[in-house]
Amino acid sequence: MESRVAARRRLGFVTRSASSAAVDAADLAVVARSVAETAAAHVRSRRAELFAPTGTAPGNDAVTSKSTPTDPVTVADTETEALVRDLLRVRRPGDAVLGEEAGGALSVPDGVRWVVDPIDGTVNFLYGIPAYAVSVAAQIGGESVAGAVVDVARGITYWAWRDGGAYSCPGTAQAPEGEPIRLRANAIDDIGFALVATGFAYAAGRRRAQGEIVARMLPRVRDLRRMGAAALDLCMVASGAVDAHIEHGLSPWDWAAGGLIAAEAGAHVVLPAPDSRASDGDPTIAIAPGIADDFMVMLAEIGATEALPEV
């Protein structure tokens, strides 16, 4: 059987490895957390200003669409990314930034690149479903070395830095900051009891293929969960709220912080290449370590380790 390492290389995935960068990853994590929490406070306040407490009215001029008519972007997304870029310009002048809304070069630069998702889970944000996040990560050589994800509605911050561990604590605006909790992926050894988080693309062809994969997976695991925010899914693997996550066609800003947080919590993590595009359709995978081997075998058997095209 082909080894997991060989399979990852064949598929073009990036796996967790030590960084040779001289920049202090712990210092970058402090910046990532501070910026993400400030941005999350803005998102929290704008939700109340732009929309009803739950649900949203059609034709709201705060919402436009992106890749498909069902892929929304709100004025809060663009405002928040602009805020993050301004904060990073002050804290880390000269660093590159790649963001979901304002873009940036996918090619890996010299030095530090910040990868930003101002609101991961925009549809949830739009409808008032309390599962959306701000994600900020620092990469060097295309690998994340520090990152923070803020669960905006619940006021929880997750953060990590390379070889420093992953942590969470109650967040800034809704609850006083407590002692950080060291995160560990669940100690589970049977995929039949695995609770698996997943998500679906906006393109109809890829959604169809993802549905077929889910149909093959569901009889072999405990159950599936679809939260609608990949960054939170990855943090949930880290915290033990789920046992695994798989989703095809994520962009770097979806996984840059959450993938590091899951890896630093001991999860087995497989990520797309740092210059990948959502249209490439590669899977992002995070698995509790005790089931990683069996889960990867199962994913290969059901066709989930290959890229899924958009059409």
Same fold, 25-182 and 185-301: no
Tell me which residue has tokens 């000269």.
Answer: 94
45, 63 Cβ separation under 8 angstroms: no
User: Residue 27: enclosing H or E segment and its boundaries?
Assistant: helix 25-50
Q: Residue 4 — pLDDT band, cuts 50, 70, 90?
A: very low
pLDDT at 17 over 70: no
214 vs 274, which has greater pLDDT? 214
Residue 6 has pLDDT above 50, yes or no: no
CA nearest 225: which of 235, 216, 238, 214? 214
**For residue 287, is it left (φ>0), alpha (ψ between -120 and 50) or beta?**
beta
* The domain over range 185-301 is classified in CATH as 3.40.190.80: yes
Res 16 pLDDT > 70:
no
pLDDT beyond 70 at 5: no
Q: What is the CATH number of domain 25-182?
A: 3.30.540.10
Report residue 234's pLDDT band, with 50, 70 and 90 as the boundaries.
Answer: very high
Classify strands 63-65 and 72-74 as parallel, antiparallel or unpaired.
Answer: antiparallel
For the chain, the domains span 25-182, 185-301
Res. 3: pLDDT tops 80: no
Exposure of 108 by Cβ count < 10 A (0-12 exposed, 13-18 middle, 19+ buried)? middle
Placement of tokens 């560990």 in the chain: 184
Alpha carbon dihedral 158, 97, 227, 247, in 10-degree steps, equals: -110
Per residue in 242-256, pLDDT (tens digit) is 999 999 999 999 999
CB atoms within 10 A of CB 160: 33
Residues 49-62 have pLDDT tens digits of: 887 777 665 446 67
Between the alpha carbon of residue 69 and those of residues 18, 59, 63, 185, 202, the distances in Å are 41, 13, 11, 36, 9
Cα torsion 70, 285, 120, 177 to 10°: value is: 160
Strands (E) in the chain, as ranges, are 14-15, 63-65, 72-74, 96-99, 112-120, 133-140, 143-151, 156-161, 165-170, 181-182, 195-198, 223-225, 244-248, 268-271, 283-287
Quote the pLDDT of residue 65: 64
Are 185 and 235 within 8 A, CB to CB? no
* Binding residue ranges for Mg(2+): 100, 117, 119-120, 254
pTM of the entire predicted model = 0.88
Largest CA distance in the chain: 55
Contact 304, 213 (CB under 8 A): yes
88 φ, ψ to 5°? -70, -35
- Residue 126 above 50 pLDDT? yes
Q: What is the pLDDT of residue 43?
A: 96
The SS3 call for residue 244 is strand
235, 258 contact by CB (below 8 A)? yes
Instruction: Name the average pLDDT for the chain.
Output: 87
Q: What is the pLDDT of residues 181-220, one digit of tens each?
A: 999 999 999 999 999 999 999 888 899 999 999 999 999 9
